[in-house]
Amino acid sequence: MKRIALLLMIILSSISVSAFTGSYQMNKNSRIIEADKFVNNILSKMSLEEKIGQMTQITLEVVSQPRPNEGDELFLDVEKLNEAILKYHVGSILNTGGSANSLEKWHEVITTIQDIATKETRLGIPVLYGIDAIHGATYTLGATLFPQAIAMAATRNRELVRKGAEITAFEMRASGIPWNFNPVLDMGREPLWSRLWETYGEDTYMTSEYAREYIKGIQGNDVSDKSSGVACLKHYMGYSLPKNGFDRTPAWIPERMLREIILPPFAAAIDEGALTVMINSGEINGIPTHSDYHILTEILKDELQFKGFAVSDWEDVKRLYTRDRVAASPKEAVKLAVMAGVDMSMVPYDFSFYEYLLELVKDGEVPMKRIDDAVSRILRVKYLAGLFDNAYPDKSLSEEFASQNHTSANLASAQEVITLLKNENNILPLKKDKKVFVTGPAANLLSVLNGGWTITWQGNNESLYPQEKFTILEAIQNKVGADNTQYLEGVNFDSEINVTEAVEKAKNSDVIVLCLGEPPYCETPGNISNLNLSEVQLQFAKKIYETGKPVVLVLVEGRPRVINEIVEKAEGILLAYLPGMEGGRAIADVLFGDVNPSGKLPYSYPIAVNGFTTYDYKPLENANENVVQHQWHFGYGLSYTSFEYSNLKLDKINYEMNDDVNISVDVKNTGQLAGQEVVELYICDKYGSVSRPVKQLRGFEKISLDPAQVKTISFKLTAEDLSFIGRENKRITESGEFSVMIENLEQKFVLK
């Protein structure tokens, strides 16, 4: 076992968990001091009722008229809205009340709400409106809807992630909405989980990098700016690793793993200045997170020095009683949650939280100090978001809403998402004069390209989608002309439609584009118990292969469905994930060579339904036989050109603890086409007091290279990059041997 560098251990624990050491926060501190002055003043004037109201969040349905059908126009119920704001003093409202609203409708809704809150209440405290703008302003009709997070992760392009977040913030604010329940920083390490596509994939380092970019994009330099918004990190923490793979079921995550794998992206985003977090809806180690003082107060607020507020997830305070039974009454549930550190309750259907909390404070069961802390946090965020200055929609932003610029950024993202997994005999790119037969259930639907959180919660109401956008089929028709394109769906996701006819048409084509995958889904309705692609689709693929025609498989799916039995006979395979509203065009661009693909897998693609391991597995997992197998490994993705790596160099062989390790490598485009490559840096800590993964990503850069062009790429590793969570559950760096790996090259070094 190696000597532990104690001093470094102390330094590192403060680097990795201290939330206000980042440059962003340094600049923001003066704003926080200013906010706190304002907040203390207003707090001193507030009644208990007004304070508790601030901690209460309701859904728009509570204050609007019923909307029997998705797509029906929304009308507020002003009487109920008055009751919510004037009687219960609610601090926040969320959601869309069924389906997306027009920009104008949002202006009307937000204006009505803020008129009551700021003009008719004693202290004029504005309402903080929040929404799930997961891949764009989901709930505003016509918004720019980007590839979902798992797809954005495949771009390995930090700038695109930041740009997407900036546009999202702009379009939310243009709708009058300042608060976004995103980014999802849960780790995507359980492929069965129905929310995998909301994550940035399986790697902690990569997720932390994207977390920072997303916060920069959403919150901008100043959250109060009219085109910035408040981020909400979710679902803090450990939600994404349910033991049985089903959404909202128990997770068992030891403290070391929590700190090594789950916590860092949240810490990074908080360091970057993220202002709110939403709490994990489930439980870890037998403790529902909404009642977990250790996680909500000791780690989040004490250790990470988080100055924003923690909102519950949907109905989850109540569920401590109704579902988890850690509280014996709904009132006890409120006490448990608030004392654990929940600052705002997404109740969201009634005012029970308000009533119970009022009683609890009056009975002395919840101290005023806790209420004041929660309310100060909420008001601080409202202040920083500029709501006390102006809580109204800025209609001048409407002009740039869903502008051509935004659409171009969306298309550029979708193009970099597409991941080429197989290209036998260089079947791709396809020539534009070929007769193409397009088939499969994902070929002609926009909803399938977008997935959940699109116009509606489940994202599956195709009739509400903007018809001017292109499905895969339509985009292919645009490329090669309708005459060269034949289409029949063949099967649905789970049933046959016209298989025989489809096979006949396939026989008469030059090439078949077979679009398979998953229908849209979100959260618990997306639970599955078998990771295989549906049997109907697998059988359909086999029938299509029997025609003997070349087949390009296009996969449109939120999670990596097992397709091992249909891989061999496909000549080309493209993975599109959920590429968003411009996904159809991006897929066609790659199919026909107008774009050279550059996406890389954000997860290890499973080869079988069981025995899944992430790329950063432990030596023990592969000790006896070759058990670790993936269909394609994390980071995999082909190009229409080729790259060669050489000259991997380190500036030294022996390093002191505080030295930087400077690394460089040459990358050459050895093919005929310009292309983008992702240079990935991995490390391996050879011997450690806690078993170390076989490899860990510690850097990535996306570069563009013309044919024959060479670039030298540099990376720097610090002691923190070499650290891990030791036996004492603290972050440490140990001296010893390490290796650095880039592509097929490896160099060793020693840390003294």
Q: Which residues bind ligand BGC (CB under 6 A)?
A: 94-95, 132, 181, 234, 278, 281, 313-314, 523
Q: Minimum distance from CB of 525 to ligand BGC (Å)?
A: 11
Q: Give the C-alpha separation, 275 to 281, whole Å.
A: 19
Alpha-carbon distance of 621 to 617, in angstroms, equals: 6
Residues contacting residue 396 through CB under 8 Å, at least 6 positions apart: none
- Taking Cα atoms as reference points, which of 240, 221, 255, 113 lies closest to residue 176? 113
| Cis before 630 (ω within 30) | no
Tell the smallest beta-carbon distance from residue 671 to ligand BGC (Å): 43
Query: Which residues fall within 8 angstroms of residue 722, CB to CB, at 6 or more apart?
Result: 661, 683, 685, 733, 738, 751
Q: From CA 636, how far away is CA 408, in angstroms rounded?
A: 26
In the complex with ligand BGC, the residue whose CB is nearer, 186 or 213, is 186
Residues in Cβ contact with 620 at an 8 Å cutoff, skipping those fewer than 6 apart: 691
Shortest reach from residue 700's CB to ligand BGC, in Å: 27
Instruction: Please say which residue, 110 or 512, places its beta carbon nearer to ligand BGC.
Output: 110
Both tokens of 661, joined, read 């390790």
H-helix segments, 345-471: 352-362, 368-384, 404-417, 447-450
- CA–CA dist 534, 540 (Å, integer): 10
Q: How far is the CB of 314 from ligand BGC (least distance, A)?
A: 4
Which of residues 83 and 523 has its CB atom nearest to ligand BGC in the complex? 523
Torsion, Cα 474 476 481 482, to 10 degrees, reads -50
Residue nearest to ligand BGC as judged by C-beta position: 181
Q: Is 313 a catalytic residue?
A: yes
CA distance 517 to 561: 8
To ligand BGC, the closest distance from the beta carbon of 429 in angstroms equals 38
338 backbone dihedrals φ, ψ, rounded to 5°? -65, -40
Residue tagged active-site, from 313, 324, 616, 685: 313
Q: Least distance from C-beta 524 to ligand BGC, angstroms?
A: 9
- The candidate with the shortest Cα–Cα distance to 357, out of 27, 607, 91, is 91
Min CB(288)–ligand BGC separation in Å: 14
- Residue 384: closest CA among 23, 39, 20: 39
List Cα–Cα distances, 126 to 122, 273, 334, 348, in angstroms. 11, 22, 24, 18
- The closest of 117, 140, 122, 135 to 56, measured between CA atoms, is 117
* Active-site residue list: 313
